[in-house]
A and B are shown apart, each in its own frame.
Chain A
């Protein structure tokens, strides 16, 4: 790694966004996108560990075939809250609100987002939504599954459904406002010379993600509102005994919630598209294809939601169409995987921590995506529907893909965010632990699901025990892998060596400004004259 020589006087810390203002109010009322990103990072980490806590309890219960640790009712609440917290309060906001908030304006050479106060409001909405979820679980929890299917959620469940729904509803608006803010920012605040095809791919993916947030989330909001009204006023919009149709709820819910998977994964793909060229020292292969495929994924993601309802009573003709369209999403996703791989070809690769996570992402996302094709086929779906095969499939996407990408991005931009370097040895160790722990946790679940173990039960036949024990063992390893970065990053924030402007020797405007960046990002608005990822090729170096 060629670190730049910086002319720093060690005794005087230069003014940056962290030390420019002081006091609690300067944080809680800040409109600085970088500070808001840190606020998000802290609150998201807390919610991540709340969701992780439920995961631990689930895995402990499944250590033995009998239901011994918790009751069946408690188990229902555990998996519901695990899914709800992880999906709505960690995975969906993770990369956009933390890394997107921090890096996006820097990447496009802007001083802030288009609507800084709206950005702060989004964070407060996130907090309010989280408060409802905490209140919900403090007063007894929720047992409908994170999908809130009617009529279970409206007529039968006697848990805190309204509080849970309110929390998700509010955090949905946080998500909408963030998306709106990003789209406007990308359109209006790009630095001079920064044309669309000079944008880093991370910006493209954030844009596509924001589109999904803006276009999909309102439908979730209205369907949750209808659930709440049906439950409170005992009217029938989904309840068949009152004339409603429960399948309609599933349509409305999945219209948002399938694309939501791409809200989670697309920004992760953006991170990987930044990390791979940096550590392979090559421009991304087929920039245009990667950029267009981003929009291809975002668009197709809205055409496939019916694949969640193959066995729910959906018309078989619609099911066929949804099945075919689900296969189509694989095409743009595969384009990305091929392009990343091609970028690596003949690159001078260095295996720093962000790169390790990104390589992990490519492998695990591919497994998750390929198994997605299995379950998009109608016949296989009938066999594995609602089994652990599904659980394993979407955890490969969401945890193996998304969380890996989030960690990759966190490590990649940590020097920019904090101005310090994290301990590389520990970080590599943690990356290895996460990779091993993850596969040990979830690979056995593919097998379990294929053998027929259904999801959402707290007990199972004894012949499934060996694989479940493996999975639980993996989960505890994974837990260690997640706690390690928390520890060494806090340590490095205080004691790590100074990073300098550009520790990775990467391209991109965010690396031209000091680390940590000054309060308004750039003293002089930068002018862009080059394509992105303009790395000298290997031949030039020699």
Chain B
């Protein structure tokens, strides 16, 4: 397994802390629907930094990448197909008109 230098770890940790403050500040601004999106994007960036460097995925085998990919893909299936139901429901009131 590849040795990552201490400096890298400190830099990553520092940027994670900066992103945390950024998350908080972004939440103070009214972006409407986009508040959620921005928060999730920042969280995703933080998560990727952790996976890539703290968890050494950047230097890991293709197999590890496949496992990570499968995990995310399946999470995506769970979300998209469940929401495909909730986001396309016709409100009960409009059904009553028929």
Contacts and interface: CB of A to CB of B under 8 A. Distances in A.
B62 to A, nearest CB: 11
Contact of A303 (B70, B81, B88): B81
A432 B88 CA distance: 50
A217 to B, nearest CB: 12
Contacts of B78: 219, 255
B85 A306 contact: yes
Contacts of B70: 211, 215
Contacts of A9: none
Contact of B88 (A215, A305, A317): A317
B98 to A, nearest CB: 13
* Main SS at interface, chain A: helix
B63 interface: yes
Contacts of A306: 81, 85
Nearest to A187: B63
Contacts of A315: 84-90
B85 A215 contact: no
Given A303-B81, A305-B81, A318 B88 contact: yes
B63 A318 contact: no
A248 B74 CA distance: 18
A302 B78 CA distance: 8
B81 A247 contact: no
Contacts of B88: 315-318
B77 interface: yes
Contacts of B77: 302-303
A51 B96 CA distance: 45
A211 B66 CA distance: 12
Instruction: Sort chain B's interface into a size bin.
Output: 10 to 19
Residue among B71, B81, B88 with most chain A CB within 10 A: B81
Nearest to B71: A215
A251 interface: yes
A167 B70 CA distance: 28
Nearest to A304: B81
Contacts of B71: 215
Interface string A288-321: 0000000000000011011001000011111001
Nearest to B78: A255
Contact of B90 (A211, A303, A316): A316
A315 B95 CA distance: 12
B82 interface: yes
A382 B81 CA distance: 21
Contacts of B63: 187
Nearest to A211: B70
Interface in B54-95: 63, 70-71, 74, 77-78, 81-82, 84-90
A309 B89 CA distance: 14
Contacts of A251: 82, 85
A317 B81 contact: no
Nearest to B85: A318
A314 B86 CA distance: 8
A314 B85 contact: yes
A303 B86 CA distance: 16
Interface of A: 187, 211, 215, 219, 247-248, 251, 255, 302-303, 305-306, 309, 314-318, 321-322
